[in-house]
Chains A and B, each alone.
Chain A
Amino acid sequence: MTQSRYPGRLTGGSVNRISRREMLRRMGIGVGGLSMASLLGACSIPPQIVRETEANAGLITNESNGTLNFANWPLYIDRAKGENPTINDFTDETGIQVNYDEVIQDNESFLGTIREPLANGDPIDYDLIVVTDWMLAKMARFGFLEELDFSHIPNFEEHAGEVYKDPNYDPNNTHSIPWQAGITGIAYNAALTGRELTGMGDLFDPEFAGKIGMFKEMRDTMSLMMLYNGVELDNATIEDAEEVQEQLIQQVDDGIVRQYYGNEYADALARQDIVASIAWSGDVIQLTLDNPDLKFIVPEDGGILWVDNMSIPQNAVNPIDAHEFMNFVYQPDIAAQIVGWVNYICPVPEAKEILADTEGYEAIADSPLVFPTPEMESNLHRYTVLDDEEEAAWNELFGAVIQG
């Protein structure tokens, strides 16, 4: 653009300058002939929805191929001596070789890496992936996931806890079954608060001004606040979200919130920079072992049960092997082996007894953070299932809070 605005400089200068421009033109970089607008307009970012026919074509094979490519999150399966016992047991029993890849760091960026091929209807490098419930709902809506064939997964019907069947984010478990789950609630340092905390209201107490942590994860913070306001999450409206936004902005203005945290909230709690925070159950088990003053509660007005799910990307190369793995991990002893190491919530209740009888694992079997009590379970809710427009609107409201 500057080239045309200062023609004198270019033509009036040395021979070199003219030649340089000449060269640029030959290389096709000079855009003089084409209007800027028409070039700009030539681009677009393709939609993420796959055409129905392609998405619903069914599994590409009904046979096991002897290979499984499994994408999971770091530290999310049992480990011993640098190996994964569950994976080894699976290979021993079925002969299926597993390429286990801990590539998923967070839901959004993982979707970013697989979005292009899936939108084009191409298979990705993985036959089995683990994503959180709301991301799963989104991917199913985009047509990115295969429908499961439960004739290959009899263990799910037999051993899965009732809470994990027919969830709101994936009716009838059409596309997914849980891998592990967790609770979003409140963690606090009883030695520093000097009293028991019971619910979200405590995170607004001026007594703790500047010492409260909130979550940058939009769904967690918004949902806990809506439960606090007495909103049924399944019927949450944009007005409910606006009400929460006002409360949260007020909370920041009053100097009560120290920061909106990602994973770092756990360090902040451990360092005593904050006395209470929204928290994930799985992290707190580790923290409470280090510091018995740290407590985790499900807020009295309700907490969130979130679920990370196994599902099969559309047109996966080894879908039957993926089904076999899903079936395999729903055996109670295998489920116990996994949860005994990862300490999240196990979707197989029978694993509790197995762990209780295993030396060294009694504490985990007893922990309500791994096997929630029925009272806790009755007070746990699911995220609102949001469509794209609602999600954008909630994100905008929440963005104004955390990026004041």
Chain B
Amino acid sequence: MREARRRRIAYLLLVPGVLFLTVFFLIPMFTMLSTSFMEGTPEQGFDFTAHWQNYVDSFADYDTQIYRSLIYGLIVTVVTLALSFPLAYWIAFRGGRRKNLYLLLLLLPFFTPFVIRTLAWKQILADNGIFLGTLKDWGLIGDDFQLLATPIAVLGGLIYNFLPFMALPLYVALERLDPRLLDAASDLYSDRRQTFFKVTLPLAMPGIFAGSLLTFIPAVGDFINSELLGSVRTTMIGQVIQRHFLTTLDFPAGAALSFLLMAGILVGVFLYARALGTEELTG
């Protein structure tokens, strides 16, 4: 009797979440999937005709941008991991009583909206702005040197914007690590390198995995950084999809591209999970 009641309450607690996901995730996904098989024009309307050629055509048109986005996402994930690991490690093990302060400092810039922060980079990196202008005055770089409208600026913006998404999960994983395990390792004659690779790294794996997903997936779909900091030659697939939906109103091609992107990301994540091994990821 009590068991049944408890179970009922558990289901009741699930209802808001399930309803939310149904209304804001499942139904839109389904509509998008349906749209991706439609044919027509904005003027005549779009009808479902199982027009799978949308996928073939839009992939043929925009494969460069899809690959470019996946590669950018990969670079961003690797670099943010390389930057975040020492950072998270230091805060978790050397932060002492000021841990929370350091975490706050890490997050502080992110109290400003995404777009504003990226626009600020546009000012900072301007050809004759405070950064490059000064270097040019000192004669350290040529007068024609520029960062804006190059892949470097786009990748830099992405790395900057997604750093906390990598650093925080890493911190959580490292923070949970029991320091006595490290002591035990050294008691058993493990050197620092061995300790790191045999104890710290494996125990940080769930954090690395979570951080990578939180970075890679939104970075691949991002369209703000390339739009503001990049050029024609850094166009990412998110910009292409946005233009399909908002400018050219070619909904089916935009929807098909979204699903192609999703497929690309799923394959990437699947390979990654396979490589790391699911056992370690669940801790």
User: How far in angstroms is the closest Cβ of chain A from B254?
Assistant: 12
In the complex, which residue of chain A has the Cβ closest to the Cβ of B228?
A264
The answer to whether A45 touches B127 (Cβ under 8 A) is no
In the complex, which residue of chain B has the Cβ closest to the Cβ of A107?
B247
Q: B242-258: which residues lie under 8 A (CB-CB) from chain A?
A: 243, 246-251
Which residues of chain A come closer than 8 Å to B247, judged between CB atoms?
Answer: 108, 218, 395
Complex A-B, nearest 6 residue pairs according to Cβ-Cβ distance, in ascending order: A47-B45, A45-B46, A388-B43, A43-B34, A403-B235, A395-B248
In the complex, which residue of chain A has the Cβ closest to the Cβ of B123?
A271
> Which of B45, B61, B146, B248 is A45 in contact with, Cβ under 8 Å?
B45
Alpha-carbon distance A395/B123, docked complex (angstroms): 31
Which residues of chain A come closer than 8 Å to B11, judged between CB atoms?
Answer: 19, 23
> Which of B26, B34, B248 is A29 in contact with, Cβ under 8 Å?
B26
User: How far in angstroms is the closest Cβ of chain B from A116?
Assistant: 12
The answer to whether A257 touches B232 (Cβ under 8 A) is yes
Contact bitstring A265-277, B, C-beta under 8 A = 1, else 0:
0010001110000
> Which of B43, B48, B243, B249 is A403 in contact with, Cβ under 8 Å?
B243
Q: A264-317: which residues lie under 8 A (CB-CB) from chain B?
A: 264, 267, 271-273
* 18 pairs of residues in contact across A and B, judged by CB atoms under 8 Å: A23-B11, A37-B50, A40-B33, A42-B34, A43-B48, A44-B47, A45-B46, A47-B40, A47-B43, A48-B42, A108-B246, A210-B146, A257-B231, A258-B149, A271-B127, A399-B243, A403-B62, A403-B240
In the complex, which residue of chain A has the Cβ closest to the Cβ of B64?
A404
Which residues of chain A come closer than 8 Å to B179, judged between CB atoms?
Answer: none
User: How far in angstroms is the closest Cβ of chain A from B273?
Assistant: 15
Known pairs A44-B48, A47-B45; list 8 more (Cβ under 8 Å): A45-B251, A49-B43, A389-B41, A395-B247, A396-B248, A402-B232, A404-B64, A404-B235
> Given contacts A388-B43, A392-B248, are A259 and B149 in contact (CB under 8 A)?
yes
Which residues of chain A come closer than 8 Å to B33, judged between CB atoms?
Answer: 40
In the complex, which residue of chain B has the Cβ closest to the Cβ of A267?
B122
> Given contacts A47-B44, A109-B246, A259-B149, are A272 and B127 in contact (CB under 8 A)?
yes
> Given contacts A271-B129, A403-B239, A404-B233, are A41 and B7 in contact (CB under 8 A)?
no
User: How far in angstroms is the closest Cβ of chain B from A6?
Assistant: 15
> Which of B18, B48, B249 is A41 in contact with, Cβ under 8 Å?
B48
The answer to whether A40 touches B37 (Cβ under 8 A) is yes
In the complex, which residue of chain A has the Cβ closest to the Cβ of B22?
A29
User: How far in angstroms is the closest Cβ of chain A from B9?
Assistant: 13
Alpha-carbon distance A44/B231, docked complex (angstroms): 36
User: How far in angstroms is the closest Cβ of chain A from B98?
Assistant: 39
Which residues of chain B come closer than 8 Å to A46, judged between CB atoms?
Answer: 45
Alpha-carbon distance A267/B22, docked complex (angstroms): 43
The answer to whether B31 has its CB under 8 Å from any CB of chain A is yes
Alpha-carbon distance A392/B40, docked complex (angstroms): 11
The answer to whether A401 has its CB under 8 Å from any CB of chain B is yes
In the complex, which residue of chain A has the Cβ closest to the Cβ of B129?
A271
User: How far in angstroms is the closest Cβ of chain A from B189?
Assistant: 44
User: How far in angstroms is the closest Cβ of chain A from B25?
Assistant: 12
Which residues of chain A come closer than 8 Å to B30, judged between CB atoms?
Answer: 39-40
Q: Which of the listed residues B62, B64, B243 has the most CB atoms from chain A within 10 Å of its own CB? A: B243
The answer to whether B37 touches A48 (Cβ under 8 A) is no
Which residues of chain B come closer than 8 Å to A210, judged between CB atoms?
Answer: 144, 146, 149
The answer to whether A45 touches B35 (Cβ under 8 A) is yes
Which residues of chain B come closer than 8 Å to A236, judged between CB atoms?
Answer: none
User: How far in angstroms is the closest Cβ of chain B from A55?
Assistant: 14
The answer to whether B248 touches A399 (Cβ under 8 A) is yes
Alpha-carbon distance A388/B33, docked complex (angstroms): 24
Q: A333-384: which residues lie under 8 A (CB-CB) from chain B?
A: none
The answer to whether B44 touches A49 (Cβ under 8 A) is yes
> Given contacts A37-B50, A271-B127, are A45 and B38 in contact (CB under 8 A)?
yes
Alpha-carbon distance A209/B47, docked complex (angstroms): 46
Contact bitstring B61-102, A, C-beta under 8 A = 1, else 0:
110110000000000000000000000000000000000000
Which residues of chain A come closer than 8 Å to B48, judged between CB atoms?
Answer: 40-44
Alpha-carbon distance A217/B129, docked complex (angstroms): 27
Which residues of chain B come closer than 8 Å to A75, judged between CB atoms?
Answer: none
The answer to whether A231 has its CB under 8 Å from any CB of chain B is no
The answer to whether A27 has its CB under 8 Å from any CB of chain B is yes
The answer to whether B195 has its CB under 8 Å from any CB of chain A is no
User: How far in angstroms is the closest Cβ of chain A from B150?
Assistant: 10
The answer to whether B174 has its CB under 8 Å from any CB of chain A is no
The answer to whether B246 touches A45 (Cβ under 8 A) is no
The answer to whether A388 touches B42 (Cβ under 8 A) is yes
User: How far in angstroms is the closest Cβ of chain A from B61?
Assistant: 8
The answer to whether A44 touches B18 (Cβ under 8 A) is no
The answer to whether B173 has its CB under 8 Å from any CB of chain A is no
The answer to whether A252 touches B46 (Cβ under 8 A) is no
Which residues of chain A come closer than 8 Å to B42, judged between CB atoms?
Answer: 48, 388
Alpha-carbon distance A399/B123, docked complex (angstroms): 27
Which residues of chain A come closer than 8 Å to B250, judged between CB atoms?
Answer: 392, 395
The answer to whether B249 touches A108 (Cβ under 8 A) is yes
The answer to whether B44 touches A259 (Cβ under 8 A) is no
In the complex, which residue of chain B has the Cβ closest to the Cβ of A23?
B11
Alpha-carbon distance A339/B61, docked complex (angstroms): 45
The answer to whether B177 has its CB under 8 Å from any CB of chain A is no
Alpha-carbon distance A175/B54, docked complex (angstroms): 36
